[in-house]
Structure 1
Amino acid sequence: MLKTGIYVDAENIKMSGGYGMRYDVLVDLANSGHSVMLRANCYLAEDRERTKRDQEYRHKVYAYHDILRQCGFKIIKKYVRRYQDEDGNVTTKANADMDLAIDALLQARNLDRVILLTGDGDFIRLVIALQNMGCRVEVIGFRNVSHELKEVADAYFSGYLIPGLLPIHQNGSVQNDEWQRGTVTSFHPDRGFGFFRYYHMVDGVLIPQTVFFHLSQSSLDGDYHFQDSSQIFEFRVINNPANDNRSEARDIRLVREN
């Protein structure tokens, strides 16, 4: 069994498109196939001054922490510090990068696989160090992910494409399993059709799937969107009775660049 550790740079993830991420899905990934989760650390910031004076904020923060603990995560807090310059401008800082790096290096001696959630290029040297210790390092990010970080990792996954990790919402409600996120694998502009790739997660293992789509099922203007494989789309997968019940993508909408 591969002994796996998860390390979440929570503030980076939250500010880069991952707000509302499901931590239980991460646990499923870590416990997939021939892997078992040995460590799960989440590094986050807390405004201690606000926690003391704002009851609503305190309730939300502690409820969030309780959910993480129930999923099996250890919480490592970095308290917000405020600094005032000569002009009276106040800046805040709560960076847990050093804590994450040191913990990962110390704990990697007992790990075979590390899942690192961040887009911060400052972790490139950490990834290399973990690899030199014999660990496989997989990076998961959302927006603004360092290109160099993607390249140095043993594998990179967009958090948008991992089923259930970031729920799909519409009109304020979470969508059902018909809705998927995927990227274009091929597109034929002259005929207006192409194929999306998306993933199912079975017992914590990501299984790639391919589905046909036609430009007429998109609300987007023009076909140039489908030429870029870095774009992420949301769509419903349905069986079309007019085409021998074959799967097709419908209600296609652009989410963002991968």
Structure 2
Amino acid sequence: MPNSDLKLKIRRDQLTWFLDLLLDEREVFQLSASASIVPDFDRLYALSKRELLASLTDAFLHQTGDPKIAVESDGAYAPRSPEKNSESSVEELASQFFTEKAQGAISRVGYMEVSEIETFFKTSEVLIEAGDFAEIVWALLTDKRREVVEHGYQLLNRTYESLEEPHVNGQETLLNTEQLEEIQPQYVYDAEDGRQQSDAPVSEIAQLEQQLANSKADYTSLEQSHDRLDQQRSFLLQENRGLKSEADAYHENNKRLKTLEEENRILREQVARYIDETSELQQLAEERELLIVEKGQLAEKLKEYEQVKAVKETFTADLKLVEEAIYKEHQELEDFQRSLDNHFDTLESCHQTARGALNQIRQTLAYLDTQELNASQRPYGMTSEQPRVGVFVDVQNMFYAAKDRFGRRVDYIKLLDLIVGPRYLMVAYAYVVQIPEINQSSFLSLLEHNGYTIKSKDLRLRGDGSAKGDWDVGIAVDVVSMLGSLDVVILASGDGDFCPLAELIKQQDKRVEVVAFEHNTSMDLQQIADQFFPIGDELLI
């Protein structure tokens, strides 16, 4: 059968009815002979179509493994053991037989979609009238698509339930289910002596012979029906070939349509590219027009440039003449400047000599003042309005403050004149730290010739590699020792370590003034001092 579930889904009476629709009498006898339902052909033709259909139905529904239908001595049909018959089973033979008979319907169904099958084969009236209901149902049941097989089962069940008396192409009516179940074979075959035994009376033999004659007549009629069915099958095959040709043409048209669509897409892309290229050409044409306009403007500017160039050349020639005249004047000014510098150097030398002499006089007066202060109370030439000033310059602090911030040096000579002013200078000490790598002899000599007393010490190296060289303690000692002979103490340093010294000076009712760079001076020292003189550019060289 087409599906292993058929035995579970179809009843015995349905199967008998379906086989009656599918097979004519001749085909029933052929299938029964092929399946060895009755071993003796004479006995086979003695049975009616109904009896053979009942036997075939039982063979379908009750066989197991690879059984064959055999006739037992009690007249009932039972499975024959596989060892006694190696031929194909009834199910396989019947399936092959039905498939060959319904080949046209199978081909027709195979070309149809599931939706088409459900539409065209929704009811069975038209199929029954056309005489191909059984072939179509068998084609549906043997299809590989599960939806088609299910539709075949449904169509078979609906048709069977709707017909009260199923029939085949208007031929004789089958027996109902109870009658089919009561049909039993009337002949058995004795395997030992081959003799025929009859359980019926002699009067029934004549009836059987009459039935045989009727069966032969029916057989002739069935052959004619078979010929008509063959013609119909040929027509359907021809129609199927036509449909197949149309389907091939349809598929070919689809391929052609896809090709045309692809060509259309390519043409659209080409048109789009052409439009883009046209737009680009228009843009290029517009840019060309703009370039032509710009070219004209550049030509005008070039003319203006040529004119400016000519004016520039004239101006350059005039400028060259002016530069030559200026150069001559400059040379004359330089000569005059050199002459003035020579005179200035001479005057500066004289001034330095006079300043040195003046400082020596001041030092002498200061010394005399310290020696004779108790006798006369004031130095010679000093008035009561002139305060006594002592200047203490931390050269090391001032040098590095000027170098780090300004990259310049302090003019100590001008510094001394500025901070002392009209007051009486008692003493001016310059505290210097000697560094072995630097020769400061000329600098110290200059300070000595301009009123400073030099106090010097060498830079000392510690055991840890650091260096020590400052005059903080020395300056404090000198200030304290001379505080009795001074009215004003001027500290030239911004070191905050001098804050206690400044407070001590003020406690002695003395005036303390600080001169240093503002950025390098302690804020506390500026606040303690009576006056703070910030050093500016005028004191730098």
Q: Partner of 1:240 in structure 2?
A: none
Q: Secondary structure of 1:84's match?
A: coil
Change (3 A) 1:31 1:144: closer
Give the aligned residue type for 2:534: S
1:148 has 2:524 as partner: yes
Is 2:512–2:530's contact at 8 Å kept on the other side of the alignment?
yes
The TM-score, its normalising length taken from structure 1, stands at 0.55
The whole-number CA distance in structure 2 between the counterparts of 1:31 and 1:159 is 14
Q: Partner of 1:26 in structure 2?
A: 415
User: CA shift at 1:132, angstroms?
Assistant: 1.6
Give the aligned residue type for 1:166: L
Give the aligned residue type for 1:22: D
- Please list every run of at least 4 consecutive aligned residues from structure 1 whose deviation after the TM superposition is greater than 4 angstroms: none
Q: Partner of 1:157 in structure 2?
A: 533
The whole-number CA distance in structure 2 between the counterparts of 1:22 and 1:2 is 24
Candidates 39, 43, 68, aligned match of 2:427:
39
Candidates 392, 415, 425, aligned match of 1:7:
392
Is 2:491–2:513's contact at 8 Å kept on the other side of the alignment?
yes
User: CA shift at 1:4, angstroms?
Assistant: 0.5
User: CA shift at 1:137, angstroms?
Assistant: 0.8
Candidates 477, 489, 493, aligned match of 1:114:
489
The whole-number CA distance in structure 2 between the counterparts of 1:41 and 1:6 is 6
Larger radius of gyration: 2
User: CA shift at 1:30, angstroms?
Assistant: 4.5
Is 2:411–2:540's contact at 8 Å kept on the other side of the alignment?
yes
The whole-number CA distance in structure 2 between the counterparts of 1:157 and 1:27 is 12
Is 1:115–1:137's contact at 8 Å kept on the other side of the alignment?
yes
Structure 1 or 2: larger helix share?
A: 2
1:104 has 2:479 as partner: yes
Q: Secondary structure of 2:396's match?
A: helix
Aligned length: 151
Give the aligned residue type for 2:433: A
Question: Structure 2: which 5+ residue stretches go unaligned?
Answer: 1-385
The whole-number CA distance in structure 2 between the counterparts of 1:31 and 1:42 is 15
Superposed CA deviations along residues 89-116 of structure 1, whole A, max 9, x for unmatched, are x211111110000001111210111111
1:124 has 2:517 as partner: no
The whole-number CA distance in structure 1 between the counterparts of 2:402 and 2:457 is 21
Paired residues for 1:1-258 under 5 Å: 1-17=386-402, 20-33=409-422, 35-47=423-435, 50=436, 57-58=438-439, 61-85=440-464, 90-142=465-517, 143-160=519-536, 164-167=538-541
User: CA shift at 1:134, angstroms?
Assistant: 2.2
Q: Partner of 2:274 in structure 1?
A: none
The whole-number CA distance in structure 1 between the counterparts of 2:400 and 2:487 is 29
The whole-number CA distance in structure 1 between the counterparts of 2:487 and 2:508 is 9
Change (3 A) 1:31 1:140: closer
Is 2:402–2:410's contact at 8 Å kept on the other side of the alignment?
no
User: CA shift at 1:27, angstroms?
Assistant: 2.5
RMSD: 1.6
Give the aligned residue type for 2:456: K
Question: Structure 1: which 5+ residue stretches go unaligned?
Answer: 168-258
Q: Secondary structure of 2:466's match?
A: strand
The whole-number CA distance in structure 1 between the counterparts of 2:412 and 2:424 is 16
Give the aligned residue type for 1:39: V
User: CA shift at 1:26, angstroms?
Assistant: 2.6
Is 1:3–1:113's contact at 8 Å kept on the other side of the alignment?
yes
User: CA shift at 1:138, angstroms?
Assistant: 0.9
